[in-house]
């Protein structure tokens, strides 16, 4: 008998990385790697579960930049080139490893994997992965939700309510125009919540969102059911909290499953291991070593030479870890249901890109978890938050506490000595945009001016992405993050100047429209603080 719910939420997001001004661009590989290792394997999981009529529920948050990139013709064609090169490399690896049978077996596995990826992407889904996700949404097994337009870190944009409103509404509009329906749920970028945000979410028609554990534990009223029941923020919008136990088991750097010795090691890639002459055609500019996606080793163990990867053993371990995960959820549910006045829900949100990209076996683990939960031998039932809310109509009313799911639990990862310089510029650009929109209220605006104004609004949104301060703090690709935020602010400054002086160079405007082609339905008038337009 089912006694409690498990809500697994995957948040899929990448910053908008698309560079038509270059013939090829390294950071576009972020998308290509995620499609190959995460999104297509995830679709494979969903397709297999559907084929086997498994009764499961899963929630997937698709960020608007990711939605836009998955639908983009240029990136679709570049992804196909990327895949063909991977296949070519796998073929070369089969030849190179002909005297190393264990390695050659893996090289063949990679060729099969890339070929299946190509078949799924090109033949089965015609380069349109959103259709694949939508198919499962329509089947009622996958709930699709979205997040803010460019994953803006909302508490630090909240100097202007209009900025936050546009991040929310543009995100929802992008989702709706590509997926065909309005989402019920909203993923707050970085789970970053501040009291009052629920008002704008309600205005946009959102029914629920997620916060980290302490968002509920530190709420204005002590939570009667801990984090195992959502809270009504007082306006009918529900906040679900992350269950720390299920998070830790998967994500913790100390205890998490992905670090198991049998799993594939992410950091041993032939892009770094093989002779430069051989690997040059598949790395950056023929000389800068990068991950290729072909990896032959397993995590192994502390300070030990990395051993060769054994896929069968890794798969078996993923199944054991899935069983362990379900067993622990069952123990939680058994304990909680004895004390709660309702069936507990354990909310387990993860970055989607963990599954398959960082944790190669993650999709298998997820599939196994969903299959196990569907069996009648345990008390765990997977559920989407929308389905939960249909079953449970009364909720404790309280205001969650400001929080994020990031390091230290608050905002310091996104505002510190590495990235604080961006906020005066972001706020100034937003204020300038709002002033422009206000000044033009009631005035006739030519089609060319409208294009320039809309492009200025796109530049603001792209500059506001939380990814840039995140990268600055994490220290990974700082130069790129600096360049992106500087570029978008400069593009905004340029357009603002042109509009104010009424000297718009259409050639330059066109170039910016080609380079930053996100949000085709944007309307600069939404930046007029006196005007509130709801998602349509």
Partner 1 sequence: MTFPYSRYNPQIKLSPEEMLEISQEINREFAPAFSIKKPEPASQHKLSPKELFEISEEIRLNFAPKASNNTQELVLLPVDPEHLYAYWNLDDDKLNTTPKKDSENQLTLRIYPEANKNTDISKTKSWFDVAIDSTQSQLNVFLSMRAHETAYRASIGNRFPDNSLAPFAHSNITHVPLGKTMLNQLMLNQLMLNQLKESQTVFKSMPQFITASQEISIFTHFGASGQGNN
Residues 374-403 that bind partner 1 (CB under 8 A): 401-403
Min dist. Cβ of residue 191 to partner 1 (A): 8
Count of residues that interact with partner 1, criterion CB under 8 A: 129
Min dist. Cβ of residue 156 to partner 1 (A): 6
Each residue 416-435 as x (binds partner 1 by CB under 8 A) or -, in order, gives xx--xx-xxx-xxx------
CA gap 279, 154 in Å, rounded: 43
At 501 the three-state DSSP class reads helix
CA gap 415, 461 in Å, rounded: 18
- Which tokens belong to 503? 């000297």
Q: Interface with partner 1 includes 226 (CB under 8 A)? A: yes
- Which tokens belong to 473? 């703090």
Strand partners, 9: 59, 349
Min dist. Cβ of residue 82 to partner 1 (A): 15
Binder of partner 1 out of 235, 446, 520, 531 (CB under 8 A):
520
Q: How many Cα atoms within 13 Å fall on the side-chain side of residue 299?
A: 16
Min dist. Cβ of residue 414 to partner 1 (A): 7
Binding window for partner 1 (CB under 8 A); candidates: 109-117, 136-144, 200-208, 517-525: 517-525
Binding window for partner 1 (CB under 8 A); candidates: 46-54, 137-145, 232-240, 249-257: 249-257
Binder of partner 1 out of 247, 292, 374, 381 (CB under 8 A):
247
Pair 209, 239: CB distance under 8 Å: yes
Min dist. Cβ of residue 74 to partner 1 (A): 10
Q: Interface with partner 1 includes 82 (CB under 8 A)? A: no
Binder of partner 1 out of 111, 364, 368, 491 (CB under 8 A):
491
CA gap 197, 107 in Å, rounded: 50
Q: How many CB atoms lie within 10 A of CB 117?
A: 21
Each residue 255-274 as x (binds partner 1 by CB under 8 A) or -, in order, gives xxxxxxx---xxx-------
Min dist. Cβ of residue 425 to partner 1 (A): 4
Q: Interface with partner 1 includes 11 (CB under 8 A)? A: yes
Min dist. Cβ of residue 143 to partner 1 (A): 18
Min dist. Cβ of residue 193 to partner 1 (A): 9
Binding window for partner 1 (CB under 8 A); candidates: 39-47, 110-118, 325-333, 389-397: 325-333
CA gap 476, 505 in Å, rounded: 36
Min dist. Cβ of residue 101 to partner 1 (A): 27
Q: Name residue, tokens 């008002």.
A: 199
Q: Interface with partner 1 includes 414 (CB under 8 A)? A: yes
Q: How many CB atoms lie within 10 A of CB 136?
A: 21
Pair 232, 240: CB distance under 8 Å: no
Residues 12-31 that bind partner 1 (CB under 8 A): 13-15, 17, 20-23, 27, 30
Binder of partner 1 out of 203, 273, 334, 387 (CB under 8 A):
334
Residues 131-190 that bind partner 1 (CB under 8 A): 131, 155-156, 159, 177-180, 190
Residues 431-460 that bind partner 1 (CB under 8 A): 451, 454-455
Strand partners, 437: none
Min dist. Cβ of residue 421 to partner 1 (A): 8
> Cα 15 vs. chain centroid, distance in angstroms?
9
Min dist. Cβ of residue 291 to partner 1 (A): 10
CA dist 139 → 9, 53, 142, 197, 519 (Å):
17, 11, 7, 32, 28
At 211 the three-state DSSP class reads strand
Q: Interface with partner 1 includes 471 (CB under 8 A)? A: yes
CA dist 230 → 140, 216, 224, 339 (Å):
22, 8, 10, 16
Pair 361, 315: CB distance under 8 Å: yes
Nearer to partner 1, 78 or 111 (CB): 78
Residues 88-117 that bind partner 1 (CB under 8 A): none
Binder of partner 1 out of 2, 3, 71, 92 (CB under 8 A):
71
- Which tokens belong to 18? 């698309």
Dihedral sign for Cα 379, 385, 387, 393, please: positive
Nearer to partner 1, 98 or 533 (CB): 533
CA gap 66, 95 in Å, rounded: 36
Min dist. Cβ of residue 106 to partner 1 (A): 18
- Which tokens belong to 70? 């998955």
Binder of partner 1 out of 391, 441, 474, 502 (CB under 8 A):
474
CA dist 130 → 17, 46, 47, 153 (Å):
18, 13, 14, 25
CA gap 235, 297 in Å, rounded: 52
| Closest C-alpha among 359, 180, 304, 250 to residue 9 | 250
Binder of partner 1 out of 109, 415, 445, 504 (CB under 8 A):
415
Nearer to partner 1, 14 or 89 (CB): 14
């Amino acid at each position: 008998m089912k006694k409690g719910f498990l809500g697994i939420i995957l948040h899929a997001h990448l910053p908008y990385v698309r560079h038509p001004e270059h013939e090829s661009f390294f950071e576009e590989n972020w998308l290509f790697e995620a499609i190959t290792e995460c999104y297509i394997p995830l679709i494979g999981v969903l397709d297999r579960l559907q084929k086997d009529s498994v009764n499961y529920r899963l929630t997937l948050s698709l960020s608007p930049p990711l939605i836009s990139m998955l639908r983009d013709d240029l990136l679709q064609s570049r992804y196909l080139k990327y895949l063909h090169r991977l296949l070519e490399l796998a073929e070369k690896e089969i030849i190179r490893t002909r005297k190393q049978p264990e390695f050659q077996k893996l090289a063949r596995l990679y060729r099969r994997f890339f070929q299946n990826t190509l078949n799924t992407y090109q033949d089965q889904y015609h380069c349109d992965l959103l259709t694949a996700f939508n198919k499962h949404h329509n089947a009622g097994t996958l709930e699709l939700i979205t997040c803010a337009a460019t994953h803006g870190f909302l508490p630090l944009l909240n100097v202007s309510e209009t900025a936050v409103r546009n991040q929310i509404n543009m995100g929802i509009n992008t989702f709706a125009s590509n997926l065909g329906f309005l989402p019920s749920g909203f993923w707050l970028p970085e789970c970053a919540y501040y009291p009052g945000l629920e008002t704008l979410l309600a205005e946009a028609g959102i029914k629920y969102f997620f916060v980290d554990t302490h968002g509920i534990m530190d709420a204005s009223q002590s939570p009667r059911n801990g984090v195992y029941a959502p809270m009504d923020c007082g306006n009918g919008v529900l906040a679900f909290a992350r269950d720390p136990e299920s998070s830790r088991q998967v994500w913790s750097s100390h205890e998490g499953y992905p670090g198991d010795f049998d799993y594939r090691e992410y950091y041993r890639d032939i892009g770094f291991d093989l002779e430069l002459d051989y690997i040059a055609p598949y790395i950056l500019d023929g000389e800068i070593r990068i991950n290729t996606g072909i990896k032959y080793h397993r995590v192994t163990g502390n300070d030990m030479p990395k051993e060769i990867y054994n896929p069968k053993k890794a798969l078996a371990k993923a199944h054991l870890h899935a069983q362990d995960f379900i067993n622990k959820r069952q123990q939680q549910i058994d304990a909680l249901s004895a004390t709660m006045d309702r069936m507990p829900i354990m909310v387990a949100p993860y970055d989607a890109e963990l599954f398959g990209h960082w944790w190669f076996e993650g999709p298998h683990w997820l599939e196994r978890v969903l299959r196990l939960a569907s069996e009648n031998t345990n008390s765990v039932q997977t559920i989407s938050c929308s389905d939960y809310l249909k079953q449970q109509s009364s909720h404790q009313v309280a205001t969650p506490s400001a929080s994020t799911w990031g390091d230290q639990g608050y905002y310091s990862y996104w505002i510190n000595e590495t990235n604080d310089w961006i906020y005066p510029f972001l706020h100034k650009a937003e204020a300038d945009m709002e002033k422009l929109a206000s000044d033009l209220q009631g005035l006739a605006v030519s089609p060319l001016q409208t294009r320039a104004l809309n492009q200025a609004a796109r530049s603001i949104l792209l500059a506001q992405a939380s990814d840039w301060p995140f990268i600055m703090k994490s220290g990974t690709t700082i130069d790129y993050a600096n360049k992106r935020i500087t570029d978008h602010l400069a593009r905004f400054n340029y357009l603002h100047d042109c509009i104010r002086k009424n000297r718009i160079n259409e050639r330059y405007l066109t170039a910016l429209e080609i380079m930053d082609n996100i949000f085709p339905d944007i309307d600069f008038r939404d930046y007029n603080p006196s005007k509130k337009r709801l998602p349509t």
